[in-house]
A = this chain, B = another copy of it.
Amino acid sequence: MLRRSFTYQLASIAEDAVGPAARLFESRFGLDVHELRVLRLVGDQPGVTFTTLSRQTKFERSATSRILSSLIKGGLVRREIDENDARHFRLYVTADGQALRERADPLSLELETLILSVLSLTEQAEFRRILDKLSGWLDREFMTELQARYPEMAGPAKKARS
């Protein structure tokens, strides 16, 4: 078999993994995976600020803002004006949001376990370790490195569309 491009393979795995999950979360909790992603990021970083968050979501700022609005409207997230700088909002998950996460997380875990079940435990650990290493690099030095090597591509991340 021909060796497929690594990026294609990654994107393809991500789609196979996220796609079914998306449908399940939608049908069980009426929750869009994008919303879930934001809910989790906020939950894991109480008091996180919008700009930080939107860098992590990998969505556009405007998209993140809209998702956030919908979470707030749904009572899953609340925001507080920063007392030192009223331009900032500090974001927190509400009790309802927390409750929802607590229902959603086991399903995530279940799916994750199923996906990884084809790997031995050693492989799973190794895979995780490698993914962590990769994410760290991609989040930090990689982007700088890219800009340096390919100055032709400025501007922020464009839709990858897998």
Contact = CB atoms under 8 A, between A and B. Distances in A.
A159 B160 CA distance: 13
Contact of A128 (B6, B27, B128, B162): B6
B135 A118 contact: no
Number of copies: 2
Contacts of A34: 161
A1 B95 CA distance: 23
A118 to B, nearest CB: 4
Given A10-B17, A18-B161, A118-B134, 15 more contacts: A5-B40, A9-B135, A10-B14, A11-B17, A11-B18, A11-B58, A12-B135, A12-B138, A13-B14, A16-B139, A20-B153, A27-B152, A118-B142, A127-B127, A162-B162
